[in-house]
């Protein structure tokens, strides 16, 4: 089987869907799938995740972002036709997903993904899974059961193949020492207030580090508030008590995680948070504020803890850290849970099953003249990353249409 897998990239982009692509695509190749990555990135900026995939033997083509969806969709369409895959994974790219209307006519089904309980992902799912607008895809992947349940009726009504596939993480060469050592708490992720509520974490870590000098606190990540967080730590004279570090990668990242005992998340919403799972792979105990779907990763009191507010963190850490035997038991459960349920190996096997099912359901049709006419939907409130050129002047639209027709004829598609 041959697939195209779209993903976004940019400088200093170390989390979320891009990291999942870096981990997943080599595993799919190991399972015998011929993988072609399409990396969509801002012009003239580095693409570290694409380069990582190339270094690991995955074929990747970088396409520049375009202001209008039709322009990017044409570039993606041309690339897909040149590769001639059996299945396309649009991932989170809406322009690729909108091509499903034309690709399925060639026997090439499209799988889109729902990765977080936010306006962007929910809006796209509402649009693509609507039964009356004609823009449906053929497959859908959800990163947790909670998200899938929201769309069960739509999925059944349209017979869309779907699967819950957790974003798998790689095994760790490093293990946390839960029996001894200085109690350590770490946050890893984007240094942003929206969703991650990083300012509350910063305030809490500064407060606790002053109150409990025998504990260590670490924050790893990058984002627009990195400078503000660093300044807050310095102003509180907590520089030697709260460590703020840039993104780490690979086993260096796992090693840093393993120097702690707890990994903490304070998010408003998530899909399946990689930072918690990476910590769990090292034997750390996850602590998270409550969000929809968190129970699929943390069984409260068994392998980690769910709290309702960050103010509960202090008493929880003090109580749990008194019993190192219980901590060690939780640690072992997390390592086993990652291997059996949340590893990239398990994730790749489920992806293989979904891709195979779609490939069998939609047999490839003989090549024919390209029939894509670039009539994408008008701007829609649910599609926050779709910007149609339909609001351009008639003259400009005619110009782009002629240019596209010229390139189609030249390529003899």
Choose among 95, 21, 15, 22: nearest CA to 270. Answer: 15
Which pLDDT does position 378 carry in this prediction? 80
Q: Please, what is the average pLDDT of the chain?
A: 91
CA distance 111 to 324: 45
Contacts of 267 (CB under 8 A, 6+ apart): 195, 196, 197, 273, 288, 289, 291
Contacts of 216 (CB under 8 A, 6+ apart): 182, 183, 184, 185, 209, 241, 243, 260
Chain CA centroid to CA 10, Å: 14
Buried b vs exposed e over 316-325: b needs ≥16 C-beta within 10 Å?
ebeebbeebe
pLDDT of 391 over the 70 cut: no
Whole-model pTM: value is: 0.90
Choose among 178, 247, 155, 235: nearest CA to 202. Answer: 235
Comparing 1-5, 137-141, 200-204, 386-390, the range with the smallest average pLDDT is 386-390
pLDDT per residue as tens digits for the range 225-256: 999 999 999 998 876 789 999 988 889 999 99
pLDDT of 58 over the 90 cut: yes
pLDDT per residue as tens digits for the range 291-327: 999 999 999 999 999 999 999 999 999 999 999 999 9
Residue with tokens 């792979």: 281
Which pLDDT does position 370 carry in this prediction? 58
Decide if 163 contacts 141 (C-beta within 8 A): yes
Comparing 40-49, 161-170, 265-274, 369-378, the range with the smallest average pLDDT is 369-378
Structural domains of the chain sorted by starting position, each given as residue range(s) with its CATH number in brackets: 2-168+346-411 (3.40.50.2000), 184-342 (3.40.50.2000)
Which pLDDT does position 405 carry in this prediction? 66
Rounded to an integer, the average pLDDT of 166-178 is 94
- Comparison of pLDDT for 219 and 67, the residue scoring more: 219
Query: Strand order of the sheet with strand 242-245?
Result: 242-245, 216-220, 184-188, 262-265, 285-289, 305-307
CA distance 27 to 366: 30
Both structure tokens of 219: 């924050």
């Amino acid at each position: 089987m041959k697939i195209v897998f779209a993903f976004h990239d940019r400088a200093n982009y170390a989390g979320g869907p891009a990291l999942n692509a870096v981990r997943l695509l080599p595993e799919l190749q190991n399972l015998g799938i011929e993988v072609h990555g399409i990396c969509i990135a801002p012009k003239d900026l580095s693409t570290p995740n694409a380069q990582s995939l190339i270094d690991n033997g995955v074929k990747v083509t970088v396409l520049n972002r375009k202001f209008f969806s039709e322009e990017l969709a044409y570039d993606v369409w041309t690339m897909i036709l040149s590769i001639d895959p059996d299945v396309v994974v649009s991932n989170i790219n809406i322009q690729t997903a909108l091509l499903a209307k034309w690709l399925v006519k060639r026997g090439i089904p499209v799988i889109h993904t729902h990765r977080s309980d936010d306006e962007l992902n929910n809006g796209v799912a509402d649009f693509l899974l609507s039964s009356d607008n004609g823009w449906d895809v053929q497959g859908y992947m959800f990163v947790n059961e909670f998200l899938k349940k929201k769309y069960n009726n739509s999925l059944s009504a349209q017979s869309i193949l779907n699967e819950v596939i957790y974003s798998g993480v790689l095994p760790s060469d490093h293990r946390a020492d839960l029996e001894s050592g200085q109690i350590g708490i770490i946050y890893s992720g984007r240094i942003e207030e929206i969703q991650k509520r990083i300012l509350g974490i910063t305030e809490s870590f500064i407060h606790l580090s002053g109150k409990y000098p025998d504990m260590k606190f670490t924050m790893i990540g990058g984002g627009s508030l990195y400078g503000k967080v660093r300044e807050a730590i310095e102003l509180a004279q907590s520089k030697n008590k709260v460590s703020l570090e840039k993104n780490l990668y690979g086993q260096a990242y796992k090693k840093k995680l393993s120097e702690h005992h707890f990994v903490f998340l304070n998010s408003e919403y998530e899909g399946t948070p990689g930072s918690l799972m990476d910590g769990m792979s090292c034997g750390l105990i996850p602590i998270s504020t409550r969000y929809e779907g968190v129970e699929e990763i943390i069984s409260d009191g068994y392998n980690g803890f769910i709290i309702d507010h960050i103010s509960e963190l202090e008493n929880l850490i003090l109580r749990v850290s008194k019993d190192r035997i219980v901590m060690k038991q939780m640690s072992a459960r997390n390592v086993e849970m990652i291997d059996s349920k949340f590893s990239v190996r398990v994730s790749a096997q489920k992806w293989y099953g979904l891709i195979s099912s779609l490939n069998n359901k939609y047999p490839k049709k003989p090549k024919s003249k390209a029939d894509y006419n670039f009539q994408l939907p008008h701007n829609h409130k649910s599609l926050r990353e779709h910007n149609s050129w339909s609001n351009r002047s008639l003259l400009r639209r005619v110009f782009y249409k002629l240019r596209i027709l010229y390139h189609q004829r030249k390529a003899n598609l």
